[in-house]
Amino acid sequence: MTDEIFTDDAPTILDRSTIERWATCPQQAHLIQCGCVSNVNRAMDVGSLVHACISRAIGNRRRLSISPPIMRECIETYAAECPRPDVQPDVVAAVRKTWSLVDAICRQPDGRERSPDDLLRYDGGHGERSGQLATDMQVGGGVAVRITGEVDLLMSTASIEELDLRDWKSGWKHWTASDVAASFQFQFYAYLVLANYPGVNTVTVRVFMTRDGQSTRAVEFRRRDMHTIGERINSAVLVYLAHHKAVAAVDVPAWPEPDKCGVCPCTLSCTMPSRPDADIAEDPEYFARRLIVLEAGAAKIRGALSKLVKANGADLDFGDLKFGQNKPKGKARAVPCDLYTIGDKAGEE
């Protein structure tokens, strides 16, 4: 850890996932913090178990110098022994293509075997090998904050001025180098590494996707980037400090966007602070953004009801109301007005 900058008051400790939620949307962060919405789901459970399998195998590589084939076998064995029988098949499926990940851990870019001593820090490591990193900051009017995060794997390179940061994802999202470069998570991790290793000038990041065996291209974060990244972290912490004590969700702002609201676990509970007396003509932007939240929530409800229809093999019948695939077709209508962003390509040749 970097030298502490505080003498009297203990700093507020904030982990990466907490800060990132507040940076994404204060409303989401508040609803999760107060327990109104759970952000735990099957995909997260599977991800945690996949990380545990890989971390145990890295520990074996670090302590016992096991070969790449044995390390790969360890990952598969640990996945098969998953303590959650309900998700075990998905965990097993998620680690079937980890050869490229194992190869990156065990071999140098030129093909030579990598020394286990190069594995500096990793998720599940102990003592100086722990993947947990932290550094101290002062934000706002000098508020003491300690930011923390746990990296999947940090490795040394041929240069004392460069470290390799590797991360793995067990979900279905396809990550790109552009995603990594813009990601709050990886900017945050790079900042922590640079803060803890003052002699390092470059952190090279790659994300491995365990389901398809691919990885992103390398993305470099340099020491000269620390100011820009630090300001982003500082802004996120200030949002947290401004709103984390709020009691009512309507007192916390929301930052709706189609991509965010579509995957947000809080869509159905979001108040986006409601303004029932507002005039649409006077503030159309507010209502357009409110529509994003409402449509994202409607999509979730529609998806859940559609699953019931498929499971039942028939439309849902509530007497005067039905839901399903047998809605009578109406006459052709004019193209309706709808939300869209500049990046939409629908309808283009």
Tens digits of residue pLDDT in 104-159: 999 988 889 999 999 999 999 999 999 999 999 999 778 999 999 999 999 999 99
Band (208; pLDDT cuts 50, 70, 90): very high
* Mean pLDDT computed over every residue of the chain: 91
Q: Which range is most confident: 3-17, 76-90, 296-310?
A: 76-90
Band (22; pLDDT cuts 50, 70, 90): very high
Residue 198 has pLDDT above 80, yes or no: yes
Residue 344 has pLDDT above 70, yes or no: no
Residue 167 has pLDDT above 50, yes or no: yes
Residue 343 has pLDDT above 70, yes or no: no
Give residue 293's identity as a one-letter amino acid code.
V
Give residue 93's identity as a one-letter amino acid code.
A
- Structure confidence at residue 133 (pLDDT): 98
Give residue 329's identity as a one-letter amino acid code.
K
Residue 7 has pLDDT above 60, yes or no: no
161: left (phi > 0), else alpha (psi -120 to 50), else beta? Answer: alpha
**Residue closest to 114 by CA, chosen among 72, 70, 65:** 65
Torsion of CA 136, 12, 237, 4, to 10 degrees: -10
Residue 346 has pLDDT above 70, yes or no: no
Residue with tokens 């929530």: 297
Residue 326 has pLDDT above 90, yes or no: no
Can you list the domains of the chain with their CATH numbers? Answer: 12-240 (3.90.320), 275-323 (no CATH)
- Structure confidence at residue 9 (pLDDT): 66
Least confident of 80-89, 94-103, 119-128, 277-286: 277-286
- Structure confidence at residue 347 (pLDDT): 46
Residue 276 has pLDDT above 80, yes or no: no
Rounded-to-integer distance, Cα 118 and Cα 290, Å: 50
Band (278; pLDDT cuts 50, 70, 90): confident
- Structure confidence at residue 345 (pLDDT): 53
Q: Provide the token pair at 264.
A: 């947000």
Residue 16 has pLDDT above 90, yes or no: yes
Residue 30 has pLDDT above 90, yes or no: yes
Residue 1 has pLDDT above 50, yes or no: no
Torsion of CA 236, 241, 242, 247, to 10 degrees: 120
Residue with tokens 């940076």: 23
- Structure confidence at residue 184 (pLDDT): 98
User: Is the separation of the CB atoms in 32 and 265 below 8 Å?
Assistant: yes
Of all residues in the chain, the percent with pLDDT exceeding 90 is: 69
Of all residues in the chain, the percent with pLDDT exceeding 70 is: 95
Least confident of 13-22, 98-107, 274-283: 274-283
Residue 13 has pLDDT above 80, yes or no: yes
- Structure confidence at residue 101 (pLDDT): 95
**Residue closest to 206 by CA, chosen among 186, 230, 226:** 186
- Structure confidence at residue 35 (pLDDT): 92
Residue 2 has pLDDT above 50, yes or no: no
Q: Please, what's the b/e burial string for 268-306 (b: 16 or more CB within 10 A of its CB; e: otherwise)?
A: eebbbeeeeeeeeeeeeeeeebbebbbbbbeebeeeeee
Higher pLDDT, 341 or 113: 113
Rounded-to-integer distance, Cα 131 and Cα 155, Å: 11
User: Is the separation of the CB atoms in 167 and 152 below 8 Å?
Assistant: yes
Residue 217 has pLDDT above 80, yes or no: yes
Rounded-to-integer distance, Cα 252 and Cα 28, Å: 9
- φ, ψ for residue 172 (rounded to 5)? -95, -5
